Amino acid sequence: MENELHNFIKVWILAIISLCYCFYIPSKLPKGIFKLISLTPIFIFFLYLPLTISTAHLVGITAFFLSCYKQILNKNVVLAMYCVHIYIELELILALAATLARAMFGFEIQPQFNELYLATSLQDFWGRRWNLMVTSILRPTVYYPIRRISTRLLGSRWASLPAIVVVFVVSGLMHELIFYYMTRVAPSWEVTWFFILHGVAVAAEVVVKKVVPEKMRLHPVVSGASALGFVAVTAVWLFLPQLVRNGVDEKNIGEYSKVMDLIKGLLPF
């Protein structure tokens, strides 16, 4: 475990150095092939870095809770708890990243989650509330280019529909890569189907909003609860099983125990 922590620290030092390079060197170059060439080694390097770590993540209290109660809880209840855990963990990790960025570079990172429980639809959940950093990356790099192409083929009224679906497909493939780093197992494509399903659902919402008068739509409280329920049910169905099936949850619990042992060994009493 100690070696793993050393690897983790080394990976993040290399990542910070790489990000500094991206900030100070390629950012000075004009848009075009030379800028792409200057960034390509970093893209490849970042694909390799996660392979140097075998630890999935440190899970703290949630892992301890699950280790105690997993055997007596219904499987779907446990998976639902993992949904909550993932959200809380991401909040903590991104808050830590924001703190480090503020301390090291003096700039603020925008909050990555925006009161998920107030979502009024799937479109609102994915576009304005969940993991806003990824949204801000995929919007200019995937959504806008695909929408421009779709506008020529479908017209401006429906151009957003294929763009929405493609964004979710790309997000699904990104998550498959992340899951591979965590499990080292060939993709089962469940995660990709999770995002495809949500992409189609969001596109369907857009169609409904275009053809159904506002006064005939569901109340935001009802549509919001339905959206959150849809996210939870589909996550239990398609997003989480691959992690559980490959023992990532058990691995996390074991990692927490090792971290606690390491901390105890460092204490002077």
Residues 131 and 179 in one domain: yes
Total number of domains constituting the chain: 2
Give the single-character DSSP code of 108: P
Query: Percentage of residues in the chain with pLDDT exceeding 90?
Result: 34
Q: 13, exposed or middle or buried, with CB in 10 Å at 0-12, 13-18, 19+?
A: exposed
Contact between 135 and 127 (Cβ < 8 Å):
yes
pLDDT band at residue 60 using 50, 70 and 90 as cut-offs: very low
Torsion over CA: 67, 69, 72, 73 (sign):
negative
Q: How far apart are CA 117 and CA 220, in angstroms?
A: 12
pLDDT of 231 > 80? The answer is yes
**Higher-pLDDT residue of 103, 67:** 103
pLDDT at 67: 46
**Three-state DSSP state, 109:** coil
**211 falls within a domain:** yes
Q: Which of 83, 76, 197 has the alpha carbon at shortest distance from 189? A: 197
pLDDT of 59 > 90? The answer is no
- Which structural domain, as residue segments, surrounds residue 19? 1-54
Residues 146 and 216 in one domain: yes
**268 falls within a domain:** no
Residues 115 and 86 in one domain: yes
pLDDT of 170 > 90? The answer is yes
Choose the weakest-confidence range: 3-7, 63-67, 221-225, 251-255.
63-67
For 129, phi then psi, to 5°, come to -130, -35
For 6, the token pair is 């050393």
Residues 30 and 103 in one domain: no
Residues 107 and 231 in one domain: yes
For 94, the token pair is 């991104």
pLDDT at 64: 43
Average pLDDT (138-151) is 94
pLDDT at 32: 72
Cβ density class 79-113: b for 16+ within 10 Å, e for less: bbbbeebbeebeeeebeeebeeeeeeeeeeeeebe
pLDDT band at residue 62 using 50, 70 and 90 as cut-offs: very low
**Higher-pLDDT residue of 136, 202:** 202
Range picked from 142-151, 178-187, 260-269 for highest mean pLDDT: 142-151
pLDDT at 254: 65
**157 falls within a domain:** yes
Within 10 A of 61 (CB to CB), how many other CB atoms are there? 10
pLDDT at 44: 73
**26 falls within a domain:** yes
Cβ density class 151-184: b for 16+ within 10 Å, e for less: eeeeeeeebbbbbbbbbbebbbebbbeebeebbe
Residues 27 and 151 in one domain: no
pLDDT at 268: 58
**Higher-pLDDT residue of 112, 167:** 167
Q: How far apart are CA 202 and CA 121, in angstroms?
A: 8
Residues 17 and 88 in one domain: no
Cβ density class 240-267: b for 16+ within 10 Å, e for less: bbbbeebebbebbbbbbeebeeeeeeee
Alpha-carbon distance values, 174 to 20, 208, 225 (Å): 23, 28, 27
Helix ranges (DSSP H) in 187-247? 190-211, 220-234, 241-245
Query: Percentage of residues in the chain with pLDDT exceeding 70?
Result: 63
Give the single-character DSSP code of 236: I
Residues 88 and 211 in one domain: yes
